[in-house]
């Protein structure tokens, strides 16, 4: 148990819809990163938030967007869902200058 | 970030040491070696990291070759609960100023056998 929680656990959406995934970071952690993990692959970095500002982004289109709130919790929003967006979405939190990242259990998104 | 190469899978007998290799021949002087693991259906878990000296913690040991082009993660007494995908990641340390993102490959599936 890392103290990082994500909701919902599972989600089924239809192509073209929009989805919001939520993450509560571990107490005291001001940095949140989001990763996408397709079946059989390693996690891929989407973006990171530090003190409510985006602090780095991976190779994902603009329809992937995020927010970080003053309590350091975070949301990942995906617009115009595509079938290839089906994946496990992982959130990780850490203090800004920490070497370790602490991952939540993930949200399994299925797009039909 | 430097690319890493790991075997796709390995087996280990319960109670024996598991030695997981990683090649990172293009590693730069300011890049660290990190190891994470992912047990099925869970988020990745940090194990250990190092720059050039060997490191040990309560979970594992990390042996980095003198030229830093390869490393080995050692689980001294593997248990069934150590069955997981192990990821070797190379990146600039957080004090280098870069976003502390992790670039995962496909990792090594370690199967600990009873």
pLDDT of residue B30: 85
Q: How confident is the model at residue A17 (pLDDT cuts 50, 70, 90)?
A: very high
Question: Chain A residue with minimal CA distance to B97?
Answer: A97
pLDDT in tens, A71-110: 999 999 999 999 999 999 999 998 877 778 999 999 999 9
Are A2 and B43 an interchain contact pair (Cβ–Cβ within 8 Å)?
yes
Closest CA to A48 of A95, A108, A86, A92: A92
Instruction: Please check whether residue B18 is in contact with residue B110, taking contact to mean a CB–CB distance below 8 angstroms.
Output: yes
pLDDT in tens, B15-70: 999 999 999 999 988 889 999 999 988 999 999 999 998 999 999 999 999 999 99
pLDDT of residue B13: 97
Are B101 and A98 an interchain contact pair (Cβ–Cβ within 8 Å)?
no
> In angstroms, what separates the C-alpha of A14 from chain B's closest C-alpha?
23
Alpha-carbon span A38 to A48, nearest angstrom? 19
What does chain B come to in residues? 114
> In angstroms, what separates the C-alpha of B92 from chain A's closest C-alpha?
10
**SS3 at position A84:** helix
| Cβ neighbours of B70 (radius 10 Å) | 18
Q: Cβ contacts (< 8 Å) between B87 and chain A: which residues?
A: 42
pLDDT in tens, A59-70: 999 999 999 999
pLDDT of residue B2: 63
Angle (CA) B23 B24 B30, round 5°: 150
pLDDT of residue B91: 84
């Amino acid at each position: 148990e890392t103290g990082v929680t994500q909701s919902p656990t599972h989600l089924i959406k239809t192509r073209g819809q929009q989805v919001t995934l939520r993450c509560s970071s571990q107490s005291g952690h001001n940095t949140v990163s989001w990763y996408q993990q397709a079946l059989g692959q390693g996690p891929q970095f989407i973006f990171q938030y530090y003190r409510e500002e985006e602090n780095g982004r991976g190779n994902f289109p603009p329809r992937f967007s995020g927010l970080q709130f003053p309590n350091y919790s975070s949301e990942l929003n995906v617009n115009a869902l595509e079938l290839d967006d089906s994946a496990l979405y992982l959130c990780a939190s850490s203090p800004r200058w920490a070497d370790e990242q602490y991952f939540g259990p993930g949200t399994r998104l299925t797009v039909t | 970030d430097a690319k890493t190469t790991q075997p796709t899978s390995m087996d280990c007998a319960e109670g024996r040491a598991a030695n997981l290799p990683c090649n990172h021949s293009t590693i730069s002087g300011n890049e660290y070696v990190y190891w994470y693991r992912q047990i099925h259906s869970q988020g990745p878990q940090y194990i250990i990291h190092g720059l050039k000296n060997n490191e040990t913690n309560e979970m594992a040991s990390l042996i980095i070759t003198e030229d830093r082009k390869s490393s080995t993660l050692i689980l001294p007494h593997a248990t069934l609960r150590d069955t997981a995908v192990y990821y070797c990641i190379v990146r600039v340390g957080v004090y280098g100023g870069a976003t502390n993102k992790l670039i995962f490959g496909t990792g090594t599936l370690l199967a600990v056998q009873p």
